[in-house]
Amino acid sequence: MTHTLRPFHLAIPVDNLERCRDFYKNTLELTEGRSSDHWVDFNFFGHQLVIHLKDTVVQEYKSANPVDGKQVPVPHFGVVLDMETFKVFSEKLIQKNITFILEPYIRFKGQVGEQATMFFKDPAGNALEFKAFSNATQLFAK
């Protein structure tokens, strides 16, 4: 079954709207869209990410899943980039002293699905993953 790729919409909770707005706008350099005093839209690499102010936000993820010998936080979200964009973006984050859960590295090296990946949290504790496949046709390969 083939599908036309469409932007996704994801809304996540945050505990401090202005601190998280600054993170997504200035640290990740995402373009801000519409907003109110309770939420802010961002262009998340062509997708719609909305941060929503919540009274209570889970600060620490207690669940993790082992992947390629690393503990991956669950839940998490992110986007698949092309390899060049991943390299430039990860270098910018390193220069901005992002605290990584998993620093940028190549996962499944030499195997089907080889990919660059990195994990970090936003100021509200939401885990993000950015990745790029060495061979983009292997996104869903077994």
Mapping DSSP onto H, E and C, the string for the chain reads: CCCCCCCCEEEEEECCHHHHHHHHHHHCCCEEEEECCCEEEEEECCEEEEEEECCCCCCCCCEEEEECCEEEEECCEEEECCHHHHHHHHHHHHHCCCCEEEEEEEECCCCCCCEEEEEEECCCCCEEEEEEECCHHHCCCC
User: What is the domain range of residue 72?
Assistant: 9-55+63-138
How many structural domains is the chain composed of? 1
- Is residue 2 one of the residues assigned to a domain? no
Tell me the pLDDT tens digit for each residue of 71-103: 888 789 999 999 999 999 999 999 999 999 999
Total-model pTM: 0.84
CATH code, domain with 46 = 3.10.180.10
- Is residue 3 one of the residues assigned to a domain? no
- Is residue 25 one of the residues assigned to a domain? yes
- Is residue 1 one of the residues assigned to a domain? no
Tell me the pLDDT tens digit for each residue of 17-26: 999 999 999 9
